[in-house]
Chains A and B, each alone.
Chain A
């Protein structure tokens, strides 16, 4: 068990290293002098500035050494200085991350509750109008890109009805909740669809298993069968999917924060890419990728707890 966790963590580290290397080395793929590229645009490119970039990135040393230093600095939360803001990148990130985290957390709560609920309902009432309604609605919401959904929500609930504020991330718990409701909903809509479908599918599959019929043949009450045999067995894929979707949402904030004008790391990334602020872009990418890997690993570790067959395979693996 511990060995398997250890192995997962080692895998996490390896993937993280590889991904960070890709992020770091990307600048070498850019046409031209990496220093010029890193200096962010050609506006007011003084020799001093180039020199500063060379120093910050240790551009005179071999690639691997540079990477090592960069990584070392990153580990010490020294992510360099933003070219656009002139501020420490780590400060920029730390002031924006809470918004993003709150947004993702809120969206996660929304899609888990709504998605799993709808999925279970559809599966239990399979073939009925409830099922059709759930399947129909989710097909629809899954097909609306989050930014379009976001804009529609803004237009309707923000502008027309004025129920929700459409800017800023609010203060205090209630304020944050109020401010983030629309963006979280916009992000969650697609996810609700995914989760509802996965839940429904997993429940239907779990319900088709022989042991469910066996339980029914033994005269167990239906609600017990659904709870202990169908839902319980469907949890694996559902939890995995929830984890994956949550992890992916970190990146999904790129669009949503832009739509709602939220200052999180997503909009920071878009701004940084547009203004060639590469140190910031690198740092945000690294943060998002790390978050993603972390969550997916966590899900991976949780999965065997839900399905002991996997545990057996893993711990012997």
Chain B
């Protein structure tokens, strides 16, 4: 396994509940794994632990193994090497990911030389080559331009080029297309997909768009309030979502094709860090919740078609695609 997160729990002093609770997640080489959830569910935090970018004063338990090394045990030079080597991250907003006062080329050259293995001359040539590889026209010219002279889509390509500079095996894409227009998003996704194929990259693809995750990834994890609530093959998620939250998400996301279906909102609002739970965090919003759910500590239950879902009422829940309105009750926030 390229990335293997085991029972990761991350707490902050002063926070009512852990940011991440018992998160387990695996990404294999060449595999694209989606991570979805509403805002604040802990997606970015999960991704950052892979680089050991933790909030100050955070307390962590569990293990984060990248290629067998435990990232959480690294520091100093070892950590820098880890960050500069195996894993690379692509952030959401390409404009803020690049230093506005430096040239695009400097960004790449800096990455290439930071390991100390390349001199500036070859780094330059390599940078231009990378710019070409991510589909930028006139890479020579782009090299000398500054971020404000490029469009968002182009910048995201530059950021991806930067991520590729260290020839990583694992790519963490944190909402890396969310800030872009749909059409541009499609371009970038196409690029990511082809890069993955060429370089046999493992990819952790974070998004809040369940449809996008299901369409783009091989496997999808769904997070809610710092927990992984469901994990399945992407194809099956459209058709056989099992956790009520996942089903709720599908039911309330409008679809282009499926126009006759009424949107069924999930009542209430996504939990914030100040909300605490004694049991299943989704219980208060769940149409199938029973009083016992309020005390049941969620744990992944294996699903018949592969994957897991953390719900104690799995057996009683409907299967199959979410077509009929499943949520009868509607209540305002």
- Direct interface between A and B, CB < 8 A: yes
Give complex CA distance A307, B99 in Å.
Answer: 11
Give complex CA distance A306, B99 in Å.
Answer: 12
Contact for A219 among B84, B91, B96, CB less than 8 A: B84
The verdict on B73 contacting chain A, using a C-beta distance below 8 Å, is no
A211 contacts B146, C-beta separation under 8 Å: no
Known: A209-B96, A211-B97. A219 touches B81 (CB 8 A): yes
A214 contacts B110, C-beta separation under 8 Å: no
We find that the number of chain B residues with CB closer than 8 angstroms to chain A is 30
Give complex CA distance A215, B162 in Å.
Answer: 10
8 residue pairs from A and B, CB less than 8 Å apart:
A211-B99, A218-B83, A218-B88, A219-B114, A219-B166, A224-B110, A308-B146, A312-B146
Q: A239: shortest Cβ distance to chain B, in Å? A: 13
* Interface-central residue, B85, B110, B166, by most chain A CB under 10 Å: B110
Instruction: Name the A residues within 8 Å of B80 (CB-CB).
Output: 219-221
Instruction: Name the A residues within 8 Å of B148 (CB-CB).
Output: 308-309, 312
Interface residues of B (CB under 8 A from A): 48, 51, 53, 79-85, 88-89, 91, 93, 96-102, 110-111, 114, 146, 148-149, 159, 162, 166
A214 contacts B91, C-beta separation under 8 Å: yes
B97 contacts A210, C-beta separation under 8 Å: yes
Give complex CA distance A233, B149 in Å.
Answer: 18
Chain A interface helix/strand/loop/mixed: helix
The verdict on A228 contacting chain B, using a C-beta distance below 8 Å, is yes
Pairs A-B, 7 closest by C-beta atoms:
A219-B84, A219-B83, A210-B96, A219-B80, A214-B97, A211-B99, A308-B146
Known: A217-B53, A219-B82, A219-B83. A306 touches B96 (CB 8 A): no
Number of A-B contacts (CB under 8 A): 76
Interface string of A111-123 (1 = CB under 8 A from B): 0000000000000
Known: A308-B146, A308-B148. A220 touches B97 (CB 8 A): no
Contact for B114 among A220, A232, A233, A306, CB less than 8 A: A220
Instruction: Name the B residues within 8 Å of A224 (CB-CB).
Output: 110, 114
A308 contacts B53, C-beta separation under 8 Å: no
A307 contacts B114, C-beta separation under 8 Å: no
Q: B154: shortest Cβ distance to chain A, in Å? A: 16
A213 contacts B53, C-beta separation under 8 Å: yes
Give complex CA distance A220, B162 in Å.
Answer: 12
* Interface-central residue, A210, A211, A216, A220, by most chain B CB under 10 Å: A211
Q: A209: shortest Cβ distance to chain B, in Å? A: 7
A218 contacts B84, C-beta separation under 8 Å: yes
The verdict on A8 contacting chain B, using a C-beta distance below 8 Å, is no
Instruction: Name the B residues within 8 Å of A217 (CB-CB).
Output: 48, 51, 53, 83, 89
B99 contacts A229, C-beta separation under 8 Å: yes
B53 contacts A219, C-beta separation under 8 Å: no
Known: A232-B102, A309-B148. A218 touches B114 (CB 8 A): yes
Give complex CA distance A246, B71 in Å.
Answer: 50
- 17 further interface pairs, Cβ-Cβ under 8 Å (given A213-B53, A219-B84, A312-B149): A210-B91, A211-B98, A211-B99, A214-B91, A214-B159, A215-B99, A217-B48, A217-B89, A218-B83, A218-B88, A218-B166, A219-B80, A219-B82, A221-B80, A229-B99, A232-B99, A309-B148
Known: A220-B114, A233-B101, A306-B101. A214 touches B84 (CB 8 A): no
Give complex CA distance A308, B110 in Å.
Answer: 19
**CB proximity to B under 8 Å, residues A264-317:** 306-309, 312
A211 contacts B96, C-beta separation under 8 Å: yes
Give complex CA distance A214, B114 in Å.
Answer: 14
Q: B1: shortest Cβ distance to chain A, in Å? A: 22
Q: B285: shortest Cβ distance to chain A, in Å? A: 32
